[in-house]
Structure 1
């Protein structure tokens, strides 16, 4: 589902990604661990071309993201074509990014109607089903300001799922939440993983990664330091840098 080859990204003179290569199979859950500033979120944003890569390639479901190869050179796609690719990639951010002037239901149906051309009836029916799935069926007509942080994040997940994505990206989805609200959001993500959704999750929730991930990747200073099954990377890390990080966060 995802293939990244030698992905490089710099901001000015600072090289944030120094040649990231990894792959994610359909239905696989991959968790990215690492200290702040290691490049995890930047890499996630490169997958759906929210950040333009400087070198390398990213493919999602067999299509190169953001570019077309022609005559041995890469040419950036037009914005409408990039948006068409993004429509198949759901993303949930640290901040919830809900439209404050719209109800939860209106937030969820906006993109399916405008981008995918669904009828309002179709979009509303799907939105209610998704809200039931994330435990917010009774809050469909509430405005975001009337929801807790955990409820807003669950609404944001439902909004991303409304586009029927092939892939879901999560960028530290619980980092802005009070501790007692984290469990509800992780519960939704756990059920999503069990349903077979392909997911890449940037997280500091080590216990959740150990439980849910098929593959754990530890990044530091813009490179992949170690990757493998959770029991290998989390329980018995082989690299000294991974050992040091986990000893401080577990």
Structure 2
């Protein structure tokens, strides 16, 4: 990754997420090919597009689960994953990456709950261990979040005793228990049976109403239309079209966006 003209702090007034010319490759295959994206405080942005278009990779780069191979990303004014020394970039230590990642909540396709911990233990683990917050206060916050996602009666259950939809709602509550500035959702309903999708989407919908800044990778086009402030369509590692959700979904201007939406409706 080159370091020309790189600063560690984004210019004054920039959004919560600022991506400039982001590239990422898996071996010789370039998955992201110069992506620019801005996400402002309180905004909900849905990333849509065909499988393999780079949506999930872009999301993972925002959290430095995948390092960028070109370009740069800032979250809340901090350069993601790197520090500058002279005219070169150096990747942060695992400890520093973990510390910065604490402000970004992420919900994955497959829940990623700790199977040997109860629901409540899953929620309190990271705030106590990473943020060093007192366990009693964290537990109170966790119980409140479980009530918000409709699972207050499952506090002592283990993940294996829950349905997929319940596990995903626990995963959302766990991410929120860290009190993040930004929430990332990577196709949160793709691993669920159809009848379980609605409950999870309703939790995300209510979260959007609170003003949480969110980036959501989703194939649920109706959900994107009703919840997103902005929809971004990716194909072949590039942003093809971006704009207000209603405009992009109902009146797309690019023929590739038109073809994709016609196929998934």
31, 53, 58: which is aligned to 1:16?
31
State the shift of 1:70 in Å.
2.3
Alpha-carbon shift at residue 78 of structure 1 (Å): 1.1
The aligned counterpart of 2:226 is 211
Alpha-carbon distance, 1:199 to partner = 0.2
Choose the corresponding residue for 1:4, options 4, 13, 19. 19
Q: Secondary structure of the residue that 1:118 maps to in structure 2?
A: coil
Aligned residues: CA RMSD: 0.5
Consecutive unaligned residues of structure 2, counting only runs of 5 or more, are 1-15
* Counterpart residue number, 1:236: 251
- Does residue 1:131 correspond to 2:146, yes or no? yes
Give the aligned partner of residue 5 of structure 2: none
| 1-structure distance, mates of 2:244, 2:87 | 37
Structure 2 match to 1:146: 161
State which of 61, 86, 92 in structure 1 corresponds to 2:76.
61
Tell me the SS of whatever aligns to 2:216.
strand
Aligned twin of 2:173: 158
The answer to which of 144-153 and 62-71 deviates more is: 62-71
Match of 2:125 in 1: 110
Structure 2 matches for 1:155-234, cutoff 5 A? 155-234=170-249
Provide the C-alpha distance between the structure 2 equivalents of 1:231 and 1:184, rounded to a whole number of angstroms: 23
CA distance in 1: counterparts of 2:179 and 2:153, whole angstroms: 22
Say whether residues 1:45 and 2:60 are aligned partners. Answer: yes
What CA distance in whole angstroms lies between the structure 1 residues aligned with 2:90 and 2:102? 20
Counterpart Cα distance in 1 of 2:245 and 2:58: 20
- Among residues 42, 55, 60, which one is paired with 1:27 in the alignment? 42
Q: What is the aligned partner in structure 1 of residue 112 from structure 2?
A: 97
The residue number in structure 1 matching 2:94 is: 79
Structure 1 equivalent of residue 6 of structure 2 = none
- For these two proteins, the number of residue pairs brought into alignment is 250
Deviations 1:104-150 (A, max 9, x none): 00000000100011111011101000000100001100011110000
Cα drift, residue 222 of structure 1: 0.1
Q: 2:55 & 2:205 partners in 1: Cα distance?
A: 21
SS at match of 2:18: strand
* 3-state SS of 2:115 partner: coil
Q: Secondary structure at the match of 1:126?
A: helix
Q: TM-score, normalised by structure 1?
A: 0.99
User: Residues of 2 paired with 1:45 and 1:32: CA distance?
Assistant: 13
Runs ≥4 residues deviating over 2 A? none
Could you tell me how far apart the structure 2 residues matched to 1:53 and 1:22 are?
14
Aligned partner (choices 98, 101, 120) of residue 135 of structure 2 = 120
